[in-house]
Amino acid sequence: MTPAHFAAEDSAPQRLAGATRAEIARALVDLGVPERERNMRVSQLWHWIYHRGAREFSAMRNIARPLLDRLAERHTLARPDVVTEQVSADGTRKWLIRMPPAHIGDKGAEIECVYIPESDRGTLCVSSQVGCTLNCSFCHTGTMPLVRNLTAAEIVAQVLVARDRLGDFPGGVAPSDGLVPSGEGVRAVSNIVFMGMGEPLYNLTAVRDAIAVLTDGDGLSLSRRRITVSTSGVVPEMQRLGAECGTMLAVSLHATNNSLRDRLVPLNRRYPIEPLLQACRDYPGASNARRITFEYVMLKGINDTPAEARALVRLLKGIPAKINLIPFNPWPGSPYQCSDWETIERFSEIVFNAGYASPVRTPRGRDILAACGQLKSESEKLRARARLMLEESLVVGQD
Ligand code: SAH
Ligand code: SF4
């Protein structure tokens, strides 16, 4: 892969914040760094970019000045722009991030990234695509045309932006407004969930490359067990996700029979419930210690009866599972309503009595999401998704 996707024009500096090792090596080849020193230079750059969080080449004290100057002439460690930052009363943060133009004439895609702090961990919800080609009938993102896949660098950059802002790199200072977990061995960003915009398994190569950067022990060093990838059920890619990424899996189930799931998640017509659950049984590394999360959005009068709760429990029998009940987040023109609280409670009790830990949590960050309408239209489209992430990331992506 050439680093060309880091810049819209040849004259623009190429972005190295988010780059894979191969992309950094390519940049060094282009600068004429001799082969015998290349691996060492890649390691040095890697350490500075991902372990230290360097934003300027000049900070890299163990690299000779002439090379730093040449790097700075053609490359940048700049992050994508943060257009807005909102902090909820409960410490939840939401950033609207504008990616640099992917090509000439591109205005730069905007995505939202949400951070949910708890006392001993912090979960970041990232996007894998701008928009989504699938059309789940309850999902606002599904109503947007796909703009494009994000690159691996753009996925990683969401984590860099969060760590910058949270003071999560060595020497960084945590913001004083809102909770940021701290203490011996506690990282502000400890967990990642791919539950933002897009279907990660339709952009699996970039997701895989991003996960390799995120989990590299010499850099960001996140645990694969603390990264969860959510899919609407792209059955043929699930094995590859497990084998190549080794992350935790979340599956958007939402229905217990095919005729309803066909309506809610149209991809079900291609990959119905039975093969989907078989792919879960076959998911590499799934065990009682590494359970698969099943997401179930609570839609009033659609999928929320006690009989369906019992059917859900029956369906998942024998699969090491967690169940995540998500209150539906309505959006303008959405054809559904959220189930009543009593209905959700009744449903969750049946699930709980079947041995699954308390699956519904208090929503977080509602106050800042309520203010979303003030943002640009591009981000308004993400409102449903962003709300959802808040609910979800409380119960998944955790050790
Ligand atoms: N495309 C992937 C990952 C992103 S969606 C997937 O579908 O799994 C993350 C989760 O949000 C999914 O479980 C999805 O079904 C759910 N979701 C989408 N819109 C929602 C809404 N309006 N209310 C509640 N959950 C929603
Ligand atoms: Fe796409 Fe997931 Fe939304 Fe379905 S729920 S439209 S797969 S983002």
- Which of these ranges, 146-155, 187-196, 203-212, 283-292, has the smallest mean pLDDT? 146-155
**In this structure, are residues 46 and 216 in contact, taking their beta carbons and an 8 Å threshold?**
yes
Contact 198, 207 (CB under 8 A): no
Is residue 199 flagged as an active site residue? no
How many whole angstroms from 383 Cα to the centroid of ligand 2?
A: 13
Predicted confidence band of residue 370 (pLDDT cuts 50, 70, 90): very low
DSSP H/E element including 117: strand 110-117
Task: Give the helix/strand (H/E) hosting 205.
Answer: helix 204-215
- Cβ atoms of 30 and 7 within 8 Å: the answer is no
Q: What is the distance between the alpha carbons of residues 157 and 136, in angstroms, rounded to a whole number?
A: 27
CA of 56 to the centre of ligand 2 (A): 37
Ligand 1 centre distance from Cα of residue 133 (Å): 13
Cα separation of 170 and 57, whole Å? 16
- Lowest-confidence range among 36-40, 80-84, 85-89, 229-233? 85-89
Amino acid 146: pLDDT = 62
Which atom of ligand 2 is least distant from the CA of 197? Answer: 8
Q: Name the catalytic one among 23, 110, 112, 199.
A: 112
pLDDT value at 367 more than 80: no
Nearest to 287 by CA among 322, 240, 324: 322
Q: What phi and psi, each to the nearest 5 degrees, are found at residue 97?
A: -115, 130
395 pLDDT higher than 60: no
3 vs 295, which has greater pLDDT? 295
- Provide the pLDDT confidence category of residue 18 given band limits of 50, 70 and 90: very high
- Ligand 1 mean position to 69 CA, how many Å? 45
Query: Which residues are within 8 A (CB) of 273 and not within 5 positions of it... i.e. 6 or more apart?
Result: 253, 255, 256, 257, 258, 261, 315
Q: How far apart are CA 73 and CA 221, in angstroms?
A: 29
Q: Does 384 have pLDDT greater than 80?
A: no
Residues 335-347, mean pLDDT to the nearest whole number: 92
Report the range out of 180-194, 290-304, 350-364, 378-392 with the highest average pLDDT.
290-304
Cβ neighbours of residue 3 closer than 8 Å, sequence gap 6 or more: 14, 15, 16, 19, 23, 26, 27, 30
Q: Residues 51, 199, 336, CA angle at the centre, nearest 5°?
A: 125
The DSSP code for 88 is -
pTM: 0.90
Q: Rounded distance, CA 18 to CA 369, Å?
A: 28
Per-residue pLDDT, averaged over 257-262, amounts to 98
CB 13 within 8 A of CB 71: no
Closest Cα to atom 4, ligand 2: which residue? 136
Q: What is the DSSP letter of 100?
A: P
- 394 pLDDT exceeds 80? no
Cβ count near 313 (within 10 Å): 18
Place of tokens 């914040």: 17
Q: Residues lining ligand 1, CB < 6 A?
A: 136, 138-140, 195, 199, 230-232, 252, 295, 297, 326, 328-329, 384, 388
Q: Which two tokens stand for residue 315?
A: 């369906």
Confidence of residue 360 (pLDDT cuts 50, 70, 90): low
Mean pLDDT of 288-314: 96
Query: What is the CA 352 to chain-centroid distance, rounded?
Result: 27
Q: With CA atoms as reference, report the closest residue to 79 among 1, 163, 20.
A: 163
Output the ligand 2 site: residues, CB below 6 A.
132, 134-136, 139, 141-142, 198-199, 232, 252
DSSP states along 12-78: SPEE-TT--HHHHHHHHHHTT--HHHHHHHHHHHHIIIIII--SSGGG-TTS-HHHHHHHHHHEE-P
Residue given tokens 């208090």 in the structure block: 362
In the residue annotation, 113 being an active-site residue is answered as no
Question: What is the rounded average pLDDT of the residues 56-65?
Answer: 95
In angstroms, the CA 341 to CA 343 distance is 5
Q: Which ligand is nearest to the CA of 392?
A: 1
